[in-house]
Structure 1
């Protein structure tokens, strides 16, 4: 099976600082203590097994917020090395768009050849177990002013949020129709123990999908389903594809985070089993073509 993995993370704890891995703990996404080790390109490719990884998209790994550009500089050096085959082929960098130095950081990130987009995690939840950032960035004036600068640098925005935030995000996407938004982890369906929670996720996906400048990554499903099976993932995969259509959805591994709950080959085999009845053209789009198109690689 050939794939373009549109959501991976690498880190080198011996040369770079990742505050979340300095004293990792256990959260809803699993035991981060098991991630406190270097995870480099050779590690990912080494466990790919029968999966032929053609290209990779690296998404910022919560690197030291005091110097987010250093992460991009390091990753570009990896991609430029002859033995890397250009991987990671696309970089989604970190910027706190509410900060005064956000314009300078955007310009610095954009100066690297493989930079394609920006991610700033937006997840807010009333339950502290699930709350990432504790503030509604999309409602802040300076954040929104700096967001408008993405278009100047031809940068996309990886949108990581919860269903309760999707209505606001859809309004933002309509306001910035010339900026590409890419929803992370199928919209992070967190409140899955109630009918209202399911409706919020389902309807929120469709609100976002109604914006032609929004695409979605089907990834990170194990974060909310630690004992996942093909059948437990199936409804979430198919609902997401139904909302966005094959032309605006793509599969990704979210490795090494999802490695806590399954192997690299298991994740990709599960996706393949779920869409086994799709046409060859549709499978090519979901596994390779859409990621290449949206991340321009």
Structure 2
């Protein structure tokens, strides 16, 4: 199976700083230690979101102590073998992480964990790529993400690459996937909610590999799914219940600002506040926590993708308001400890 490049250079919502600034908030709980379990860094057609831009967001008041970088096809090597080009992204993020670890830019350890990309359809030969990632990451490399997003509705696009249908069932993909456990690496899955069944099948086939479902499973709410919130929710909930029977699975709570979801926040005249987000997100996030348990759930900003819909402070305030009734242990799991354990951040995020 090969990955096809999509024509649209930027499938994400444009960030409007003045629009975001019109809805200012202060942190609900500035003391709660937070590990942002999922963010990106990039520049180019998708805009500029590098160390300085992300640092400005994490420095807006919440106690973000560390972050996990997730691959986004940024800074790939221009030359060399195609299979090795994604290693350039890990080299780049490892450099950013080293700058952050100097302490000269604040206490947050950006990129304490790195999730990179490798084309698992290379089969067993992907081992060379995994070793290259690990070698250049300075002890920070934790896993692989290979996007598998596919929809029968071809108008739905959230990525600049279009994976083939059924990627997670492909024999060559699974041959490469089998190498992850040998190197102690986890797998982050970026899919849409109708594909959760395929993810469950993959998780059952590889019970010794830690698997992370990104963005609550990629809930779709536009085009073919518009006006079907209750129907989508019930189907999604049933699959999350099934997912909970698999002890090797974790889930990231976030990614609800993407234009493919039900929010439509970027279409509002004024950027939404945390009260609105907490109201809209409560059923999904509360269900995931109740079904999976707080020790298998972690919050993520998904910035800068979700920055097109709301600010960093508003995002974390919404999470804090949703969990206002949680126990201290549950909150610690959701905001810090689940990500800490999943991505093995012992040396970077106390």
Which TM bucket (shorter chain)? 0.7 to 0.9
Give the distance between the partners of 1:182 and 1:196, measured in 2 at CA.
24
Match of 2:51 among 41, 57, 62: 41
* Equivalent pair of 1:58/1:88 in contact (CA under 8 Å): yes
Task: Please report how far the alpha carbon of residue 164 of structure 1 lies from its aligned counterpart in structure 2 after TM superposition.
Answer: 2.0
Unaligned runs of 5+ in 2: 1-29, 266-271, 346-350
Corresponding residue of 2:151: 125
2:244 — aligned with what? Answer: 209
Aligned residue in 2 for 1:232: 280
- The answer to whether the Cα contact below 8 Å between 2:148 and 2:167 also exists between their aligned partners in 1 is yes
Which TM-score applies when normalising by structure 2?
A: 0.75
Contact 1:192 1:198 (C-alpha < 8 Å) held by counterparts = no
Task: Give, in whole Å, the separation in 1 of the partners of 2:156 and 2:245.
Answer: 27
Higher-RCO chain (CA-CA 8 Å, sequence separation at least 6):
2
| Match of residue 265, structure 1, among 313, 316, 332 | 313
C-alpha distance 120-270 of structure 1, shift in aligned 2 (>3 A): same
Q: Does the alignment pair 1:75 with 2:110?
A: no
Q: After alignment, is 72-81 or 196-205 more displaced? A: 196-205
- Rounded to whole Å, the distance in 1 between the matches of 2:155 and 2:177 is 28
How many residue pairs were aligned? 276
Stretches of 4+ aligned residues off by more than 3 angstroms: 83-86
Query: Are positions 1:99 and 2:129 aligned together?
Result: no
Deviation sequence 1:189-236 (CA, Å, 0-9, x none)? 114633543232111222222100000000101111132622111111
Q: 1:8 aligns with which of 39, 50, 70?
A: 39
Question: Is there any run of 5+ residues in structure 1 with no aligned partner, and where?
Answer: 14-20, 22-34
> Residue 142 of structure 2: which of 116, 122, 126 is its match?
116
> Equivalences for 1:124-273 in 2 at 5 Å?
124-130=150-156, 132-190=162-220, 191=225, 193-194=227-228, 195-223=230-258, 224=261, 225-227=263-265, 229=276, 230-273=278-321
For 1:277, the equivalent position in structure 2 comes to 325
Which range moves more in the overlay, 271-280 or 97-106? 97-106
* 1-structure distance, mates of 2:110, 2:313: 19
Greater Cα radius of gyration, structure 1 or 2: 2
Match of residue 88 from structure 1: 111
Q: Is 1:289 aligned to residue 337 of structure 2?
A: yes
Shift, 1:12, TM fit? 4.2
- Cα RMSD, aligned residues only: 1.8
